[in-house]
Structure 1
Amino acid sequence: MTTIQIREVVERLVAASQRKPGAPEIPVVLDAGYDTPHIAHLRDNLPVEILGRLRSAHVMRRPAPSHEEFRPAAQARRDDPAPWGAEQAVTAANTRLHWKATAQAWVRLHPRLTRRAAWLDHDGPLPIIEGTVIRLVVQKLPSGGDNKPL
């Protein structure tokens, strides 16, 4: 259903001449309630870039090594990204409300998919859907609540 809505919006943008051929991809931002990897898989050559907040239960893996370097794929959750190795980008800034905020990014990670929910009726092997994972950690929350990484 969500992919149908995304397709309809893109078609309306094209019909209204709001998106020209060769223009950058349209960012589509999804909250954790959506299955971001599944929607990215179903985008069917739409000129969109899917950006979504993953549920904390998502297990992310590094790219599989070549056959010559066979080793188990490293996987981690957002609360312990150590198995992903060194991040490809990191930045930190002091903020008024959160004190120190740190963002880290890993490229070419993919979620470990299982034949449940959206993938239950998928024919053939489950796809590898690579993307960039950005992890944000703040030193404190203004409310004093638990500052889990996003």
Structure 2
Amino acid sequence: MAHVELLGRLRSDRVLRLPRPPRRRGTTSRPPRHGLEFALTKAATWPEPAHTTSTMTSRYGLASAQAWDRLHPRLTHRGVVAGATAPMQVPRRGAVMRADCGA
């Protein structure tokens, strides 16, 4: 059986990072450490969802869900990491799911 962790909510101002893009052939510079930002408050930063589904419900009308995977948190100087002296673990990757019900 697969190990599953479920997170119920995220702060609306949370910023996550997408996976870094594949390295381009012929480049000699250092590859990027992270991909683009995924800001929960800015829908323009969201790429196409990896999975999308919708269904009609008798109680709420159209219910739809979108999911993005392989996102990881953006580490900042303000978090718990600021005073860390021990080696840090690599941030865990996870999925973000957005559910929406019609009025």
| Common topology (TM > 0.5) | yes
Alignment: residue pair count: 95
Aligned match of 1:135 in 73, 98, 102?
98
Report 1 or 2 for greater relative contact order, CA contacts < 8 Å, sequence distance ≥ 6.
2
* Conservation of the 8 A alpha-carbon contact between 2:16 and 2:38: yes
- Report 1:72-91 matches (<5 A): 73-91=35-53
More strand by share: 2
Higher fraction of helix: 1
Summarize the Cα distance change of 1:84–1:125 in structure 2 as closer, same or farther, 3 Å threshold. farther
* Structure 1 length-normalised TM: 0.51
Q: Is the 8 Å Cα contact of residues 65 and 99 (structure 2) preserved in structure 1?
A: yes
Query: TM-score normalised to the size of structure 2?
Result: 0.68
Segments of structure 2 that go 5 or more residues without pairing to the other structure are 26-30
Task: Please give the alpha-carbon distance, in whole angstroms, between the structure 2 residues aligned to 1:96 and 1:55.
Answer: 30
- Structure 1 vs Structure 2: percent identity of aligned residues? 31
Mapped contact 2:17–2:38 kept (Cα < 8 A): yes
Q: CA deviation at 1:91?
A: 0.5
RMSD: 2.7
Distance in 2 (CA, whole Å) between partners of 1:75 and 1:65 is: 12
2:16 aligns with one of 56, 60, 81: 60
- Structure 1's unaligned 5+ residue stretches are 1-22, 26-48, 141-150
